[in-house]
Amino acid sequence: MHTKSIVIAALLAALAGAGNSALAQYGQSSPYGYPGMQSGPMMGPGMMGPGTMPGMYDPGLMRGGVMPAGYRTAAGGGPGCTDPACTTAGCDDDCCGGGYSHCWSVFGEFLYLRPRDAEVAYAVPIDGNITDPSDPVFPVGEIQVVDPDYQPGFRAGFTRTCSECSLVAVTYSQLDADANDTLVVPGGLNVVARSLVSPLPINAAVDTLDAEAHLFIQFKTLDIDYKSLIAYCDDYRVAVVVGARYGKLNQEFDAIFETNGFDTVETDVEFEGAGIKLGLEAERFGRNRQCFIYGKGDVSFLGGESRATYFGSNDADESIVDTSWKAGRMVTVTNVEAGLGWQNCCGNLRLSAGYSFSTWYNIVRTNEWINAVQKNNFADESDNLFGFMSFDGINARVEVLW
């Protein structure tokens, strides 16, 4: 028994000596002999946790949920972003999972769009030798059309983040498109220009050698959207959009025909309304989360009013035709856009460019309105006062987030 007591005492002394050697090597901060032992605000009184071992984070940096920049997914940046400026936490949420991680953003966008299905045919060259009004009139040259080409516009707005997966966006868009066309008939060819937009009946007395026309098309939209992420991670985002839209589409046309004096035609067609907007947006990031592709689409239903006026005159009669029309309309507007983008490591500067298509359905177009006035028919749907107009082109966007 005495021998066993001596052996046990020797073993205990050896274990105590090994513990003291470990504490001397790693420090006295932990009773368990692990390096870097410290208590912190997340630990209870007298409780200690493991220190920084190879491949582990320093618990001093972990206190309060702050990780070293080299291991943290930056605000909008991706793994591998080690810029210390990227370690700022997001608005209300420490967003390390690919969601919205900035409080505010402002953006500006350059638009370069062309109106489609908006042209107005205003004059046609015909054979000037026809003297019998009962003889048919055939075109002998190119139909003169005033048709807008690509024109610059803009879009601007801001966003306010509500949480990691939702934000509110306010956006204003505007495009002003102008087009001019001139017809000069060569002399000596027995060819004259006949108006296609003047009040009927049109006869040889109003045929002309010179004509010109101008068309102005403008749209304005104001959107207030709530966007909510329905799926997201470091590689992609998918958001549903619910909002409200105000929209205005205006078309102004005028033409002048030089006869013995001047014949003029002026029209103004406008729609203005507001309603709801529904949409879907998606982004797919590259491996380093700096390059991305995106796509978005939305549809809005605008309840409003269409108004149109027509005024025709000449030197002999200052008011040949002076009429107006208005009716309540439900206009549907669709938008589709896709493109490429880049963001810096921190995700607080984003550049993107894409191509978009937008269509306004159930609107009155200028050429249809003129046709209705000439036929004095405003109720027959065959006159197609229920047309559509589209816009397509490129856009380039700059966005700053903080």
Same domain, 295 and 359: yes
Same domain, 332 and 243: yes
Q: What is the pLDDT of residues 126-184, one digit of tens each?
A: 877 766 656 667 788 889 999 999 999 999 999 999 999 999 999 999 999 999 999 88
3-state secondary structure string across the chain = CHHHHHHHHHHHHHHHHHHHHHHHHHCCCCCCCCCCCCCCCCCCCCCCCCCCCCCCCCHHHHHHHCCCCCCCCCCCCCCCCCCHHHHCCCCCCCCCCCCCCCCEEEEEEEEEEEEECCCEEEEEEEECCCCCCCCCCCECCCCEEECCCCEEEEEEEEEEEEECCEEEEEEEEEEEEEEEEEEECCCCCCEEEEECCCCCCCCHHHCECEEEEEEEEEEEEEEEEEEEEEEECCCEEEEEEEEEEEEEEEEEEEEEEECCCEEEEEEEEEEEEEEEEEEEEEEEECCCCCEEEEEEEEEEEEEEEEEEEEEEEECCCCCCEEEEEEEEEEEEEEEEEEEEEEECCCCCEEEEEEEEEEEEEEECCHHHHHHHHHHCCCCCHHHCCCEEEEEEEEEEEEEEEC
Read off the CATH number of the domain in which 291 is found: 2.40.128.90
Residue with more model confidence, 57 or 243: 243
**Domain span including residue 9:** 2-66
Which residue, of 20, 36, 66, is where some domain finishes? Answer: 66
The whole-number pLDDT of residue 243 equals 98
Reported confidence tier of residue 250, pLDDT bands at 50, 70, 90: very high
Reported confidence tier of residue 346, pLDDT bands at 50, 70, 90: confident
Which residue, of 16, 47, 66, is where some domain finishes? Answer: 66
The whole-number pLDDT of residue 70 equals 34
* Residue 203, in any domain of the structure: yes
Same domain, 130 and 55: no
Which residue, of 45, 66, 87, is where some domain finishes? Answer: 66
* Residue 164, in any domain of the structure: yes
Domain count, the chain: 2
Same domain, 118 and 57: no
Return the minimum-mean-pLDDT range out of 54-58, 103-107, 263-267, 346-350: 54-58
The whole-number pLDDT of residue 207 equals 79
Is residue 35's pLDDT more than 60?
A: no
% of the chain at pLDDT higher than 90? 56
Reported confidence tier of residue 66, pLDDT bands at 50, 70, 90: very low
Same domain, 289 and 396: yes
* Residue 379, in any domain of the structure: yes
Average pLDDT over the chain, rounded to whole? 80
Same domain, 240 and 333: yes
The whole-number pLDDT of residue 112 equals 98
Same domain, 257 and 169: yes
What pTM value is reported for the model? Answer: 0.76
